[in-house]
Structure 1
Amino acid sequence: MIFKELIRKKRSGEKLSKEEIEFVVNSYTFGVTPDYQMAAFLMAIYFQGLDYEETLALTESMLKSGKTIKLNINGIAVDKHSTGGIGDKVSLIIAPVLAEMGFKAPLLAGRALGFTGGTIDKLESTGMKVELTDAEITDVVKKFGFSISAQTEKIAPADKKIYALRDATSTVESIPLIVSSILSKKLSVNTKAIVFDVKVGSGAFMKTIDEATKLAEGLVKVSKLYGKKAGALITEMNQPLGRYAGNGLEVKESIDALSGDISKDLLEVTSSLVGVLFELTGYGSFEDGKKKATEIILSGKAVERFIRWIEYLGGVPSVKVAEKKMEVRAPIFGYITHINGEELGYLIIELGGGRRKALDKIDYSVGLRFFKKIGDYVEEGEPIGEIYYSKGEPEKFVGKFLSAYTISEKEKVTAPTLVKKKII
Structure 2
Amino acid sequence: MADQSIFRITKELSDLQKNSDLSLAVACRDIDVRNVKALIIGPHETPYEFGFFEFAFKFNKDYPRKSPQVTAQTTNGGRCRFNPNIYANGRVCLSILGTWRGERGEEWSAAQGLESILLSIQSLMSSNPYENEPGFEDANEPSDKKNQKDYVQKIRHETLRISVIQRLEEYLGIGIDGSITKPEVSKDDYDLDMDVMDDESALPFEPFKDLCKRRFLWYYDSYLAAVQKGKDEVKDGQAFTRMPFEGSSNTMEGKFNYTELERRLRNIKRALDAETVGWATEGLDAKTKESTVAVNLQRQYEQVVESFKRTDTAHNLELVDGNPFEWILTYIGKPMTNLDGGLFKIRLYFSPRFPEEQPRIKFDTRLFHHRIAADGTPCYFAPLSRREDAKSHIEAIIEALEEEHPPYDPRTLVNPEAFKLYWGSPEDRKVYSRRLRRSVQQSMEDL
Alignment TM-score > 0.5, same fold: no
- The structure whose RCO (Cα within 8 Å, separation 6+) is larger is 1
Rg larger in structure: 2
| TM superposition score normalised by structure 2 | 0.27
